[in-house]
Amino acid sequence: MIRIAIIGSGYVGLVTGVCLSDFGWQVICVDRNEESIHKLNTGVPAIYEPGLEDLLIKNLNNKRVSFTTDIKEAVNASDVIFIAVGTPQKENGSADLTNVYEAAHQIGSFMKQSKIIVNKSTVPVGTGQAVKKIIREELTLRGMDFSFDVVSNPEFLRQGSAIQDFTHADRVVIGAESKEAIEMMKEIYRVLYLNETPFLIVNIETAEMVKYASNAFLAAKISFVNELSELCEKTGANIQQVAKGMGMDGRIGYKFLHAGPGYGGSCFPKDTKALLHIGEVNHCSLGIVKATIDANEKQKHRMVRMVLQAMGSLKGKTLGILGLAFKNNTDDMREAPSLTILGELALQGASFRIYDPKAMQNALPLLAAKQIPVLECCEDEYHTALGADAVILMTEWNQFRSLDLDKLKYGMRDLYFFDFRNIYSKEIMAEKGFYYYCVGRA
């Protein structure tokens, strides 16, 4: 039985801990947030993620997963320690590694025998070696001299499908320096290994780079279609069909070519900026990454312009907002395009009726901080449209895909419909009497 400690019970740490316990290992998760640890021990996760709560309760009942605020206890009770703490963005765009380094100091100061330390946090190239140095220094301070391994094992989870992504990963990337560490990592992921999931075994630096490279490339795909969406609008082309035609080329692929209001979330915005910063530090100009970031900002402003051009002045106008989260199936509001877009529309005089199936609680303080005037927090789609001059479909929640359009328009003051996720057909919307606007479909 492999004994695993996970330091950091946020999004990645919690999903990793619960899934590894479900693989059959004994897992102890640590976090300094007492309230959230208490709740987790009673089977209540602090985040909304489909399937997570059931898996948590199952493995709490099996006594395979537990939660503590005591990092010393967790370090001593484990053979392998995962670091899964946050690496937020600093003002200059770089990743703030304070939490990672603090975890390394603590591990080094409590470790009494050889262990494997696995870094899952998204970190700049070179962090694995820095972690190794910190742990070695802590051991030396205590007069100890035994070997240990540091491994990089980046995570590619998507919010909203994190459990599925963990248990059916496209690949497992392991950056390691010893045969023992590689064998241990393969054993931990035995379930995936047996399922013929590809394993990429590389050095620590390469594994660290794979994570940033993957996220930046995906973000670039989105920015590319978003940029072309404007050209499609101006030339009479249809971005959805263009993306389909591109995707038919196996070298391009269909995925991540959906035009929309710009990417958001806890990863793409932060990781693209961090990669740009790593480039600057290493005197490499990453022009494509820079253009990706710029195009994403532009796309959000373009959505605002679309509304203004269609509706004219927004003074005294009420906009009904369907969805606030940065994407569907999550309650996460980090870097959500809705915040920028609503902020700018508010400056033009608009007020809002808002609804999101899961993100309302997280959204409200952020909207308040930006002084975005919310007239009413609504109960559902139809309540949101009541008395509104326009509806903006911001997030592609499944329940917004099959709206009863007659019911929706029934209480509306005017019939503008902005579909930022390209869900509806122009013909049907016109038939129903809406002034319909979408992204990249002229």
Query: CB 442: neighbour CB atoms within 10 A?
Result: 12
For residue 301, say whether it is annotated as part of any ligand binding site.
Answer: no
Among residues 333, 285, 275, the alpha carbon closest in space to that of 123 is found at 275
The answer to whether the beta carbons of residues 98 and 64 sit under 8 Å apart is no
Side chain identity at residue 333, one-letter code = M
CB of 260 within 8 A of CB of 421?
A: yes
315 is in an annotated binding site: no
267 is catalytic: yes
Residue 68 three-state SS: strand
Strands 26-30 and 3-7, by their bridges, are: parallel
Structural element, H or E, at residue 437: strand 435-438
* Closest CB to ligand UDX among residues 21, 422: 422
Q: Identify which of 3, 19, 50 has the alpha carbon closest to the alpha carbon of residue 358.
A: 50
Residue number closest to ligand UDX, CB atom: 267
Of the pair 256, 435, the CB lying nearest ligand UDX is at: 256
The residues binding ligand UDX (CB under 6 A) are 155-159, 215, 218, 222, 256-258, 260, 263-265, 267-268, 326-327
Any binding-site annotation on 346?
A: no
With CA atoms as reference, report the closest residue to 356 among 328, 375, 334: 328
Catalytic, out of 19, 29, 232, 267 = 267
User: What minimum distance in Å lies between the beta carbon of 330 and ligand UDX?
Assistant: 7
For residue 121, give every residue at least 6 positions away whose Cβ sits within 8 Å of its Cβ, in sequence order, or none: 8, 12, 83, 84, 85, 86, 87, 99, 100
31 annotated binding-site participant = yes
CA-closest candidate to residue 321, choices 361, 377, 366: 377
Query: How far is it, in rounded angstroms, from Cα 200 to Cα 212?
Result: 16
Please report how close the Cβ of residue 222 comes to ligand UDX at its closest, in angstroms: 4
Nearer to ligand UDX, 49 or 138 (CB): 49
CB 223 to ligand UDX: min, Å = 9
Judged by beta carbon, residue 37 or residue 55, the one nearer ligand UDX is: 55
383 annotated ligand binder: no
Give dist(CA 215, CA 415) in Å, integer: 38
Which helix (H) or strand (E) segment holds residue 40: the answer is helix 34-41
Closest approach, Cβ 335 to ligand UDX, in A, equals 8
Residue 259 assigned to a binding site: yes
Annotated binding residue at 294? no
What is the Cα–Cα distance from 332 to 342, expressed in whole angstroms? 17
Query: Does the annotation flag 272 for ligand binding?
Result: no
Token digits of residue 45? 């996760």
Q: How far is the CB of 116 from ligand UDX (least distance, A)?
A: 22
Separation between Cα atoms, residue 418 and residue 441, nearest integer Å? 12
State in angstroms the smallest separation of the CB of 400 from ligand UDX. 13
Nearer of residues 228 and 257 to ligand UDX, judged by Cβ: 257
**CB-wise, 57 or 237, nearer to ligand UDX?**
237
The residues annotated with a catalytic role in the active site are: 267
Binding site for substrate, residues? 211, 256-260, 264, 327
Binding site, residues? 31, 87, 122, 211, 256-260, 264, 270, 327, 334
